[in-house]
Copies of this chain bind each other. A is one copy, B any other.
Amino acid sequence: MNDQIEICKSDTIHPDAIERAYKSLPEIVHIYDMAEIFKILGDPSRLRILLALAKEELCVCDLATLINTSVSSVSHHLRLMKGLKLVKFRKEGKLVYYSLADEHVESIIAETMDHVTE
């Protein structure tokens, strides 16, 4: 076996604690879903977009002006966030208006803001 090189010799140092912790873990699929969301939130440009949308409904062009990047870049970010249901949109003529999909996004960011400002 390959594992023995890296894995601890005494395979289970605290078997009971491991067992309890293991049983408390959410379903693996939910863990992957959460990781995907956090990965999306882990980019300053996207965070700024979401924070802006928490305050105002804005079109793609507004967002590009606001965070000072290309329209294309903003559009790519919005596509990712649409995919994870973090933002929603409505079309009005040439323009596409984006806004937050639900209040969870705000809560998650607010909680993290608390963490970094304390």
Contacts and interface: CB of A to CB of B under 8 A. Distances in A.
Contacts of A56: 17-18, 20-21, 24
Which secondary structure characterizes the binding site on chain A?
A: helix
Q: Interface residue tally of chain A, by bracket? A: 35 or more
A67 B35 CA distance: 15
List the number of copies, as a whole number.
2
B8 A52 contact: no
Given A17-B57, A34-B112, A38-B38, A52 B66 contact: no
Interface of A: 6-8, 10-14, 17-18, 20-22, 24-26, 30-44, 47-48, 51-59, 61-62, 64-66, 70-72, 95, 102, 104-105, 107-109, 111-117
